[in-house]
Amino acid sequence: MVWGRGFLKTNQQKFIGTILAACLSLCTPAYAIDSPLKEARLNMGFFASSISEQANQADIEVSLNFWAKDLLVVEAKKLNINIISSEAFLFTRIEDLALAFARGELDMIVAPPLLISRFFRREDLANGFMGVLENKKSDYLLLIARTDKNIDGAKDLRGKRLVMQENDELAEIFLDTEVLKALNQSYRNIGLLVQHQQKSKRIILDVFFDKADSAVIYKSTFDIASELNPDIKNKIKVLAQFPVRSKNFSYFRFNYPFLKEFTSISENFSQSVRAQQILEVFKTPEVDYCKVEELDEYDKFYKDYLILKQHVKK
């Protein structure tokens, strides 16, 4: 299923403002343009399930209807480009997003890297952008547990309570990989009671207040919660981790005619005050390049997971 313009004001659009800003680099130096403006289309496809947490509806409306829209027009003209058509579409099925991209209906996609790795042809992709942590540090998926539950690793999760974020396939496969390596069984078959939360901050609270014994959570969320409440690190320990530069990657289509123009000046991004306002709304400290070859590690991760599944105890 795909939704068009009419759904742009919902809280399912976490990175639209950020990616609009990133695509146009937001901070092009002004210069006189004598040649006619080049006409361009910029249609964007977003995987809905992965962008539902970062901002509330009011902030989305402001960032899209005022900040991002103004930046889109102004910065495109500085690049001697007139955006004559720009649409943002939400897809509830990754297969539909991949099909629209393959048909040339989209110029840019935003989706989790594991799903891009699995459902998009590598030759159709060109480098893009991603939202990253401050100083471009990598995030991590963590398997955590309370220190008072006698859980020292995935091998001890039998019969325990675990909480994780809903609609996060990477987190689910990360958990299953750890359990498969420890017990040669899927986490679904060890009596593990799994609950799902929409908000990641709720996950850490559930574990802290003993509503869950363990969890899968992102390190950035864990670190913020620990800064606010240092006692978290006394009650919760990290059992395993997997590096994740960003929950969502964005790529242009391979033959997008304005790719070079839009990426050549991204180093000036931090000089735009308005760009920083948008990043603050979407809780994304910085924007960095996203290379197509970064999907290789997710290819390997998924391949190794499938090999583990082949040896599951019957």
Same domain, 206 and 288: no
Give 64's pLDDT tier (boundaries 50, 70, 90): very low
- What integer is the mean pLDDT of 76-98? 83
For residue 29, the model assigns a pLDDT of 45
Same domain, 277 and 128: yes
Q: At 162, which CATH number?
A: 3.40.190.10
**Is 300 a member of any domain?**
no
Please report, for residues 12, 39, 76, 99, 167, the alpha-carbon distance to residue 20 in angstroms, rounded to integers and kept in the order given: 15, 17, 11, 22, 24
Select from 135, 193, 134, 132 the least CA-distant residue to 162: 193
What is the rounded distance in angstroms from the CA atom of residue 54 to the CA atom of residue 49? 12
The answer on pLDDT for 94 being more than 50 is yes
- Specify the range with the lowest mean pLDDT, choosing from 22-36, 70-84, 196-210: 22-36
Residues 218-276 pLDDT 10s: 999 999 999 999 999 999 999 999 999 999 998 999 989 888 776 654 555 556 666 66
For residue 85, the model assigns a pLDDT of 74
Same domain, 18 and 125: yes
Select from 257, 281, 276, 291 the least CA-distant residue to 27: 276
Contacts of 231 (CB under 8 A, 6+ apart): none
What is the rounded distance in angstroms from the CA atom of residue 251 to the CA atom of residue 109? 6
For residue 223, the model assigns a pLDDT of 94
Q: Please write down the HEC assignment for all residues of the chain.
A: CEECHHHCCCCCCCCHHHHHHHHHCCCCCCCCCCCCCEEEEEEEEEEHHHCCCCCCHHHHHHHHHHHHHHHHHHHHHHCCEEEEEEEEEEECCHHHHHHHHHCCCCCEEEECHHHHHHHCCHHHEEEEEEEECHHHCCEEEEEEEECCCCCCCHHHCCCCEEEEECCCHHHHHHHHHHHHHHHCCCHHHCCCEEEEECCHHHHHHHHHCCCCCEEEEEHHHHHHHHHHCCCHHHHEEEEEEEEECCCCEEEEECCCCCHHHHHCCHHHHHHCHHHHHHHHHCCCCEEEEECHHHHHHHHHHHHHHHHHHHCCCC
Same domain, 62 and 115: yes
- What integer is the mean pLDDT of 287-312? 93
Proportion of the chain above pLDDT 70, given as a percent: 73
Same domain, 259 and 272: yes
**Is 312 a member of any domain?**
no
Domain count, the chain: 2
Same domain, 88 and 201: no
Same domain, 27 and 60: yes
What is the rounded distance in angstroms from the CA atom of residue 245 to the CA atom of residue 231? 27
Same domain, 112 and 12: yes
Same domain, 290 and 235: no
Give 61's pLDDT tier (boundaries 50, 70, 90): very low
Give the mean pLDDT of the chain: 81
More confident residue, 117 or 72: 117
For residue 269, the model assigns a pLDDT of 57
For residue 17, the model assigns a pLDDT of 43
**Is 309 a member of any domain?**
no
For residue 208, the model assigns a pLDDT of 96
For residue 287, the model assigns a pLDDT of 77
Select from 111, 76, 83 the least CA-distant residue to 97: 111
- Specify the range with the lowest mean pLDDT, choosing from 30-34, 87-91, 226-230, 267-271: 30-34
Range of the domain at 151: 139-244
- What integer is the mean pLDDT of 58-77? 57
Residues 133-187 pLDDT 10s: 777 788 999 999 999 999 999 999 999 999 999 989 999 999 999 999 999 999 9
**Is 202 a member of any domain?**
yes
For residue 280, the model assigns a pLDDT of 64
